[in-house]
Amino acid sequence: MKEADRISEGRSLTPDEIRDTVLAAVADEAPRRVLLIPPDYTRLHSGAGRIAHLCYHHFTEHGAQVDVLPAVGTHRAMPPAQWQDMFGDIPYARCLRHDWRHDLAMLGTVPAEFVAGQTEGLWDRPVAAQINRRVIDGGYDLILSIGQVVPHEVVGMANHAKNLFVGVGGSEMINETHMISAVYGIERILGRGRTPVRAIFDWAFERYLTQCPIAFILTVTTCDRAASPGEQLLTHGVFCGRGRRCFEAAVRLSREKNVIHVDRPIRTCVAWLDPSEFHTTWLGNKAVYRTRMAIADGGELIVLAPGVRGFGEDPAIDRLIRTYGYRGREEILAQFAKPDHADLRANMSAAAHLIHGSSEGRFRITYAVRELPEEEVAAVGYDAARYDDLARRYGPSSLLDGWNTLPDGEEIYFISNPALGLWTRE
């Protein structure tokens, strides 16, 4: 696959510019069997759905069999309605299901000494490298990992090897790397291209996957709520290639487009969670992760979450969140260490999520819900409110991204999609 990049000189790349860039990258490929690994519906605004659609039709028109393995990671499988909305007329029969606890190939381990060196000794255990078995033994001539580079709470900047080792990876590697990020400190990871978890993924990729026919198509996007629906997604860059160069180029652009530096600490931050995308706090807590570096001590984060109706993406994780709650780093680590809490140690990604989802008492987190009882929200450690009550004051349709002053003089900072950025005072 050829190296091919394009960065917008104006507002956004056009569909034709994106198509031409992608087709130029794959022009010399003549595979018989292709595996596409795009993100799932929680990354709808990545633009990866359109690119997967383009690649699917390009290769099928040239006689290839094309399968699609969405990088769902720990999320729920995509139902047909989400599939159609994201991937258009790609037949749902081409969808392969990833199970992060089963159906895996064990590649090897990242040595404990390497892990300890990357984490300043905070984590000194080997990390198992696992991946969906189809990547290794599916008989594919070309595997295209498609996705968005954007700030991320576990790895620093999403995508590249992370799309493989988490998106279609196994429970051991997902659990270990999520816990490493929590122990190392989320503020030291967010928005950085080189982090301990990134180094672990890179080590495993270089040792175990370089012989696989894997190539990457990466995007950098933002969203303009003021535009008409068909024009809201802004694609600022597309980067294609087999090595790490395309990722590093995308990181540079994402840090320019997706990292928002606020000019003063935010006293009241209001984040909107689109109900078509966010159904659990497991997903919705991007509102916590991505704003924590901008919110003032003693401030408040209000999460408008009309579609949130549970905590975890599967029953086991949901049960752990309800049991232990978002209690902060010290409390969760203390619970993690107790001999009778093997359930938490067996699900380290959940333990990390509980740490990441807490403000450590530095600011209030209020979830405004419609589908979830307020007492259940309060039981996991958040303040709770009814969505309709707060939406009357902080109606998302009446607010602009950034600073807003309400009629009574209250100043708030509004974020229409916390998954698309990182807000910071640094």
Segment 346-371, tens digit of pLDDT = 999 999 999 999 999 999 999 999 99
> Model confidence over 214-228: pLDDT tens digits?
999 999 999 887 665
Nearest Cα to 48, choosing from 148, 187, 164, 122?
148
Under 8 Å between Cβ of 418 and 286: yes
Nearest Cα to 198, choosing from 250, 168, 165, 156?
156
Rounded-to-integer distance, Cα 379 and Cα 356, Å: 17
Domain ranges of the chain: 4-257, 260-424
Under 8 Å between Cβ of 129 and 205: no
Residue 33 has pLDDT above 60, yes or no: yes
Helix or strand holding residue 50 (H, E): helix 48-61
pLDDT more than 70, % of the chain: 99
What topology is assigned to 4-257 in CATH?
Rossmann fold (3.40.50)
Under 8 Å between Cβ of 138 and 35: yes
Residue 182 has pLDDT above 90, yes or no: yes
What topology is assigned to 260-424 in CATH?
2-enoyl-CoA Hydratase; Chain A, domain 1 (3.90.226)
> Span 147-161, mean pLDDT?
96
How confident is the model at residue 228, as a pLDDT? 57
How confident is the model at residue 255, as a pLDDT? 96
Strand partners, 131: 105, 169
Q: What is the pTM of this model?
A: 0.92
Strand partners, 269: 301, 413
Rounded-to-integer distance, Cα 167 and Cα 248, Å: 19
Under 8 Å between Cβ of 164 and 205: yes
SS3 track for 201-214: HHHHHHHHCCCCCE
> Model confidence over 363-422: pLDDT tens digits?
999 999 999 999 999 999 999 999 999 999 999 989 999 999 999 999 999 999 999 999
Confidence of residue 43 (pLDDT cuts 50, 70, 90): confident
> Model confidence over 244-266: pLDDT tens digits?
999 999 999 999 999 999 999 99
Residue 193 has pLDDT above 80, yes or no: yes
Nearest Cα to 177, choosing from 282, 158, 421?
158
Confidence of residue 230 (pLDDT cuts 50, 70, 90): low
How confident is the model at residue 227, as a pLDDT? 66
Confidence of residue 9 (pLDDT cuts 50, 70, 90): confident
Rounded-to-integer distance, Cα 141 and Cα 361, Å: 51
> Model confidence over 80-105: pLDDT tens digits?
999 999 999 999 999 999 998 888 99
Is the torsion defined by CA of 419, 278, 145, 207 positive or negative?
positive
Residue 25 has pLDDT above 70, yes or no: yes
* Beta carbons within 8 Å of 117's beta carbon, 6+ residues apart: none
* Beta carbons within 8 Å of 290's beta carbon, 6+ residues apart: 151, 153, 190, 415, 418, 419, 421, 422, 423
Mean pLDDT over each residue of the chain, to the nearest integer: 94
> Model confidence over 100-122: pLDDT tens digits?
888 899 999 999 999 999 999 99
How confident is the model at residue 10, as a pLDDT? 78
> Model confidence over 281-325: pLDDT tens digits?
999 999 999 999 999 999 999 999 999 999 998 899 999 999 999
How confident is the model at residue 229, as a pLDDT? 63
> Span 165-194, mean pLDDT?
94
Rounded-to-integer distance, Cα 90 and Cα 84, Å: 8
**Token pair in block for residue 414:** 């509004």
How confident is the model at residue 286, as a pLDDT? 96
